[in-house]
Amino acid sequence: MKSLLASTLALSLLVTTSVFAKTQELPEVTEDGLHRVPDSKMAIVYAEPGAELSQYKRVNLLEAHVAFKKNWARDQRRNSVDPLRITPNDIEKIKASLAKEFHEVFRKTLEEGDYEIVDETGEDVLLVRPAIINLDVNAPDTPRAGMSRTYTSSAGEMTLYIELYDSITGDLIAKALDRRVDNANRSGFYTWTSSVTNRAAANRILKGWATILLDALNEAKK
Protein backbone atom coordinates (compact mmCIF):
# COMPACT_ATOMS: atom_id res chain seq x y z
CA MET A 1 0.00 0.00 0.00
CA LYS A 2 2.85 2.39 0.76
CA SER A 3 4.24 2.12 -2.77
CA LEU A 4 0.79 2.67 -4.23
CA LEU A 5 0.31 5.76 -2.09
CA ALA A 6 3.70 7.17 -3.02
CA SER A 7 3.19 6.66 -6.74
CA THR A 8 -0.34 7.99 -6.68
CA LEU A 9 0.73 11.05 -4.68
CA ALA A 10 3.31 11.84 -7.32
CA LEU A 11 0.63 11.54 -9.98
CA SER A 12 -1.76 13.61 -7.89
CA LEU A 13 0.72 16.48 -7.73
CA LEU A 14 0.57 16.62 -11.51
CA VAL A 15 -3.18 16.15 -11.59
CA THR A 16 -3.90 19.07 -9.29
CA THR A 17 -2.01 21.48 -11.52
CA SER A 18 -3.59 20.49 -14.81
CA VAL A 19 -6.54 18.15 -14.68
CA PHE A 20 -9.00 20.09 -12.54
CA ALA A 21 -9.59 22.33 -15.55
CA LYS A 22 -9.70 19.37 -17.93
CA THR A 23 -11.63 16.63 -16.14
CA GLN A 24 -12.93 15.37 -19.46
CA GLU A 25 -9.41 14.14 -20.23
CA LEU A 26 -9.34 11.78 -17.24
CA PRO A 27 -9.38 8.06 -18.05
CA GLU A 28 -12.64 6.28 -17.40
CA VAL A 29 -10.80 3.27 -15.93
CA THR A 30 -7.56 3.36 -13.94
CA GLU A 31 -4.71 0.86 -14.17
CA ASP A 32 -5.92 -0.74 -10.94
CA GLY A 33 -9.39 -1.32 -12.40
CA LEU A 34 -11.29 1.48 -10.69
CA HIS A 35 -13.97 3.28 -12.71
CA ARG A 36 -14.50 7.02 -12.69
CA VAL A 37 -17.57 8.15 -10.75
CA PRO A 38 -19.31 11.14 -12.42
CA ASP A 39 -21.22 13.86 -10.57
CA SER A 40 -19.54 13.13 -7.24
CA LYS A 41 -19.10 15.54 -4.35
CA MET A 42 -15.34 15.52 -4.89
CA ALA A 43 -13.53 16.69 -7.99
CA ILE A 44 -12.18 13.29 -9.00
CA VAL A 45 -13.50 9.94 -7.72
CA TYR A 46 -12.75 6.41 -8.84
CA ALA A 47 -14.38 3.30 -7.38
CA GLU A 48 -14.44 -0.45 -7.83
CA PRO A 49 -17.51 -1.42 -9.90
CA GLY A 50 -20.18 -2.88 -7.65
CA ALA A 51 -18.24 -2.07 -4.50
CA GLU A 52 -20.36 -1.80 -1.38
CA LEU A 53 -19.67 0.24 1.74
CA SER A 54 -22.74 -0.95 3.62
CA GLN A 55 -20.83 -3.68 5.50
CA TYR A 56 -18.52 -1.22 7.23
CA LYS A 57 -19.51 -0.15 10.72
CA ARG A 58 -16.03 0.85 11.95
CA VAL A 59 -13.20 2.87 10.46
CA ASN A 60 -9.43 2.46 10.76
CA LEU A 61 -8.26 6.00 10.07
CA LEU A 62 -4.55 6.13 9.30
CA GLU A 63 -2.42 9.19 9.97
CA ALA A 64 -2.64 11.76 7.18
CA HIS A 65 0.47 12.37 5.14
CA VAL A 66 0.97 16.14 4.62
CA ALA A 67 2.98 17.74 1.82
CA PHE A 68 3.35 21.42 0.97
CA LYS A 69 2.93 22.91 -2.47
CA LYS A 70 6.14 22.71 -4.50
CA ASN A 71 8.53 25.56 -3.65
CA TRP A 72 6.20 26.84 -0.93
CA ALA A 73 8.98 27.44 1.61
CA ARG A 74 11.18 29.16 -0.99
CA ASP A 75 8.33 31.46 -2.01
CA GLN A 76 7.55 32.28 1.62
CA ARG A 77 11.15 33.27 2.28
CA ARG A 78 11.27 35.31 -0.91
CA ASN A 79 8.13 37.26 -0.02
CA SER A 80 8.98 37.78 3.64
CA VAL A 81 10.94 40.72 5.03
CA ASP A 82 12.60 38.19 7.33
CA PRO A 83 14.39 35.53 5.22
CA LEU A 84 14.62 33.26 8.27
CA ARG A 85 10.94 33.49 9.15
CA ILE A 86 10.14 30.00 7.85
CA THR A 87 12.45 27.25 9.11
CA PRO A 88 12.43 23.48 8.53
CA ASN A 89 11.20 23.14 12.11
CA ASP A 90 8.26 25.44 11.36
CA ILE A 91 7.36 23.35 8.33
CA GLU A 92 7.37 20.11 10.31
CA LYS A 93 5.25 21.69 13.05
CA ILE A 94 2.66 22.88 10.53
CA LYS A 95 2.52 19.44 8.92
CA ALA A 96 2.18 17.68 12.28
CA SER A 97 -0.48 20.13 13.42
CA LEU A 98 -2.55 19.66 10.27
CA ALA A 99 -2.25 15.86 10.45
CA LYS A 100 -3.47 15.99 14.05
CA GLU A 101 -6.32 18.32 13.14
CA PHE A 102 -7.28 16.02 10.26
CA HIS A 103 -7.55 13.02 12.57
CA GLU A 104 -9.52 14.92 15.21
CA VAL A 105 -12.03 16.37 12.74
CA PHE A 106 -12.59 13.09 10.89
CA ARG A 107 -12.80 11.11 14.13
CA LYS A 108 -15.34 13.47 15.65
CA THR A 109 -17.45 13.63 12.50
CA LEU A 110 -17.52 9.86 12.00
CA GLU A 111 -18.12 9.09 15.67
CA GLU A 112 -21.04 11.52 15.72
CA GLY A 113 -22.37 9.50 12.79
CA ASP A 114 -22.11 6.30 14.90
CA TYR A 115 -18.95 4.96 13.27
CA GLU A 116 -16.33 3.74 15.74
CA ILE A 117 -12.69 4.65 15.05
CA VAL A 118 -10.43 1.64 15.64
CA ASP A 119 -6.81 0.55 15.16
CA GLU A 120 -7.63 -2.99 14.10
CA THR A 121 -8.80 -4.93 11.06
CA GLY A 122 -12.12 -6.70 10.66
CA GLU A 123 -14.82 -7.60 8.18
CA ASP A 124 -16.74 -4.49 9.22
CA VAL A 125 -13.67 -2.20 9.29
CA LEU A 126 -12.97 0.24 6.47
CA LEU A 127 -9.33 1.31 6.22
CA VAL A 128 -8.92 4.96 5.24
CA ARG A 129 -5.53 6.20 4.01
CA PRO A 130 -5.54 10.02 3.62
CA ALA A 131 -3.03 12.57 2.43
CA ILE A 132 -3.06 16.36 2.25
CA ILE A 133 -1.02 17.56 -0.71
CA ASN A 134 -0.31 20.92 -2.34
CA LEU A 135 -0.77 22.60 1.03
CA ASP A 136 -0.45 26.36 0.51
CA VAL A 137 -0.67 28.50 3.66
CA ASN A 138 -0.68 32.13 2.56
CA ALA A 139 0.49 33.59 5.87
CA PRO A 140 1.92 31.04 8.34
CA ASP A 141 1.97 32.40 11.87
CA THR A 142 5.36 31.58 13.39
CA PRO A 143 6.92 32.57 16.78
CA ARG A 144 9.30 34.93 14.98
CA ALA A 145 6.40 36.93 13.57
CA GLY A 146 6.40 38.85 16.86
CA MET A 147 3.91 41.70 16.97
CA SER A 148 3.65 41.99 13.18
CA ARG A 149 0.38 41.27 11.42
CA THR A 150 -0.27 39.79 7.99
CA TYR A 151 -3.43 40.54 6.03
CA THR A 152 -4.77 38.24 3.32
CA SER A 153 -8.06 37.58 1.54
CA SER A 154 -7.74 33.80 2.03
CA ALA A 155 -5.90 31.53 4.46
CA GLY A 156 -4.82 29.33 1.56
CA GLU A 157 -5.70 26.00 -0.01
CA MET A 158 -5.04 22.27 0.15
CA THR A 159 -5.89 19.12 -1.74
CA LEU A 160 -7.15 15.86 -0.27
CA TYR A 161 -6.08 12.54 -1.73
CA ILE A 162 -7.82 9.63 -0.04
CA GLU A 163 -7.92 5.87 -0.53
CA LEU A 164 -10.48 3.44 0.91
CA TYR A 165 -9.47 -0.19 1.46
CA ASP A 166 -11.08 -3.32 2.80
CA SER A 167 -9.06 -3.84 5.98
CA ILE A 168 -9.04 -7.65 5.68
CA THR A 169 -8.30 -8.22 2.01
CA GLY A 170 -6.41 -5.00 1.35
CA ASP A 171 -8.49 -4.46 -1.79
CA LEU A 172 -8.64 -0.85 -2.96
CA ILE A 173 -12.32 0.12 -3.01
CA ALA A 174 -12.15 3.75 -4.02
CA LYS A 175 -9.89 6.78 -4.24
CA ALA A 176 -10.60 10.47 -4.61
CA LEU A 177 -8.88 13.78 -5.15
CA ASP A 178 -10.35 17.14 -4.20
CA ARG A 179 -8.92 20.67 -4.00
CA ARG A 180 -10.40 23.23 -1.63
CA VAL A 181 -9.60 26.93 -1.23
CA ASP A 182 -10.47 28.88 1.89
CA ASN A 183 -13.14 31.37 0.87
CA ALA A 184 -14.56 32.34 4.24
CA ASN A 185 -13.78 35.99 3.51
CA ARG A 186 -16.19 36.39 0.62
CA SER A 187 -16.11 40.20 0.82
CA GLY A 188 -12.79 40.31 -1.01
CA PHE A 189 -11.27 42.56 1.65
CA TYR A 190 -7.99 41.68 3.32
CA THR A 191 -8.24 40.52 6.94
CA TRP A 192 -5.71 39.69 9.64
CA THR A 193 -4.38 36.15 9.26
CA SER A 194 -3.07 34.31 12.32
CA SER A 195 -2.62 30.78 13.62
CA VAL A 196 -6.20 30.96 14.91
CA THR A 197 -7.71 31.96 11.58
CA ASN A 198 -5.51 29.47 9.72
CA ARG A 199 -6.72 26.64 11.95
CA ALA A 200 -10.34 27.72 11.59
CA ALA A 201 -9.98 27.70 7.80
CA ALA A 202 -8.39 24.24 7.84
CA ASN A 203 -11.12 22.99 10.16
CA ARG A 204 -13.86 24.15 7.79
CA ILE A 205 -12.27 22.38 4.84
CA LEU A 206 -11.57 19.18 6.77
CA LYS A 207 -15.11 19.13 8.16
CA GLY A 208 -16.46 19.32 4.62
CA TRP A 209 -14.41 16.34 3.50
CA ALA A 210 -15.24 14.32 6.61
CA THR A 211 -18.94 14.95 6.03
CA ILE A 212 -18.64 13.70 2.44
CA LEU A 213 -17.15 10.43 3.71
CA LEU A 214 -19.84 10.11 6.37
CA ASP A 215 -22.58 10.75 3.82
CA ALA A 216 -21.13 8.08 1.52
CA LEU A 217 -21.14 5.51 4.32
CA ASN A 218 -24.68 6.43 5.34
CA GLU A 219 -25.91 6.39 1.75
CA ALA A 220 -24.54 2.86 1.33
CA LYS A 221 -26.72 1.68 4.22
CA LYS A 222 -29.83 2.74 2.34
With 0-12 CB in 10 A as exposed, 13-18 as middle and 19+ as buried, what is 114? exposed
Domain spans in the chain, listed from the N-terminal domain onward: 2-221
Helices of type H across 125-194: none
DSSP letters, 53-121, are: -TT--EEEEPPPEEEEPTTHHHHHHHHSSSTTSS-HHHHHHHHHHHHHHHHHHHHHHHHHTT-EE-SS-
pLDDT tens digit sequence for 157-194:
999 999 999 999 999 999 999 999 987 555 454 443 55
Q: What is the pLDDT of residue 151?
A: 42
More confident residue, 146 or 61: 61
Q: Is the pLDDT of residue 134 over 90?
A: yes
Q: Is the pLDDT of residue 53 over 90?
A: yes
Q: Among 84-88, 107-111, 179-183, where is mean pLDDT lowest?
A: 84-88
Q: What is the pLDDT of residue 221?
A: 85
3 state SS for 49-68: CCCCCCCCCEEEECCCEEEE
Nearest-angstrom CA–CA distance, 116 and 76 = 40
Task: Provide, for the chain, the percentages of residues in helix, strand and coil under a 3-state DSSP scheme, each rounded to the nearest 5.
Answer: 35, 25, 35
Q: What is the pLDDT of residue 3?
A: 42
CA distances from 140 to 56, 88, 144, 188 (A): 38, 13, 11, 20
- Taking the complete model, does pTM exceed 0.75, yes or no? yes
